[in-house]
Amino acid sequence: MAGPSFPSREWAEEFCKALDSSEKYRSAARGWKHPILFKISDMGPGFILDLKDGRCLGVEWFDDASRADAPVIISGKLSDWLDVINGKVNPLTALLSRRLRIEKGDLSLILRYSAAAIAMVSVAQSVGVASQ
């Protein structure tokens, strides 16, 4: 059974639910207290995950993410997001090579939570994506 496709409001909502029920993510992200805006720069949409202490407390979808704001903003082209979600590119490698860009926030803080970033990708893979 195919799940919702990325990027969509339905996918973001499923991702939040899956993160919230992931023990691996909860353990790795303990102490993280910042919502993150994920932007698809070449399409326009994005979503904010309300993340706190290894929990996903909610999601807010934006058809036009340029109107959204959060303490941490990460943006990238759809093809780069799909490469990360599909496991072709490590999320930290994508950030360090600037395939994904931190528009707002602290790279060193994100790097301290590298295990959480990797756990997030694993959870994203369980939600699924549509092929490019």
Provide the CATH number for the domain around residue 119. 3.30.1050.10
Q: With pLDDT > 90 as the criterion, what percentage of the chain qualifies?
A: 84
- Structural domain including 84 reads 9-123
Number of domains making up the chain:
1
Task: For residue 74, give both structure tokens.
Answer: 């990460």
Is 16 domain-assigned?
A: yes
Per-residue pLDDT band at 4 (split at 50, 70, 90): confident
Whether the per-residue pLDDT at 20 is higher than 50: the answer is yes
Is 88 domain-assigned?
A: yes
Is 1 domain-assigned?
A: no
Is 96 domain-assigned?
A: yes
Alpha helices in 21-113 (DSSP H): 23-28, 78-85, 91-96, 107-112
Kind of pairing between the strands at 46-52 and 55-62? antiparallel
H or E segment at 13? helix 9-20
Is 4 domain-assigned?
A: no
Q: What pLDDT is attached to residue 128?
A: 79
pLDDT of 21-68, one tens digit each? Answer: 999 999 999 999 999 999 999 999 999 999 999 999 999 999 999 989
Taking the complete model, does pTM exceed 0.85, yes or no? yes
Is 2 domain-assigned?
A: no
Is 32 domain-assigned?
A: yes
Nearest-CA neighbor of 91 among 116, 65, 57?
116
Q: What pLDDT is attached to residue 132?
A: 46
Centroid of chain to Cα 116? 11
Is 94 domain-assigned?
A: yes
**Could you give the CA distance from residue 100 to residue 37 in angstroms, rounded to a whole number?**
12
